[in-house]
Amino acid sequence: MTRFMDVHHGMKGITADELMAAHRADQEIEGEEGVHFERAWADPESGIVYCLSEAPSAEAVLRVHDRAGHPADEINPVPLAV
């Protein structure tokens, strides 16, 4: 398992409830891809959302986001953390 940070653009105006709903939609299906979404942070003004996950591959993370209806624009493994 590797930790990943993915980034969504274009989520301008996202609300706290919408962020929570999107996170729950990911979590409902993440087990099917062996992914676990840990945290997400959003800026309604710029429309950027950052998601932190643990997963077997970047492709698995992207598949969950795709299937949940909010594809990610960027993804990077982040094997180091403090």
Q: List residues near a copy of itself by CB under 8 A.
A: 3, 5, 14-16, 19-20, 23, 39-46, 48, 50, 52, 76-82
**Nearest by Cα to 37 from 66, 4, 7:** 4
Q: Least distance to a copy of itself from the beta carbon of 23, Å? A: 5
Task: Provide the β-strand partners of residue 62.
Answer: none
Instruction: Give whole-number Cα distances, 72 to 12, 42, 82, in Å.
Output: 14, 13, 24
Q: Least distance to a copy of itself from the beta carbon of 65, Å? A: 14
Q: Least distance to a copy of itself from the beta carbon of 30, Å? A: 14
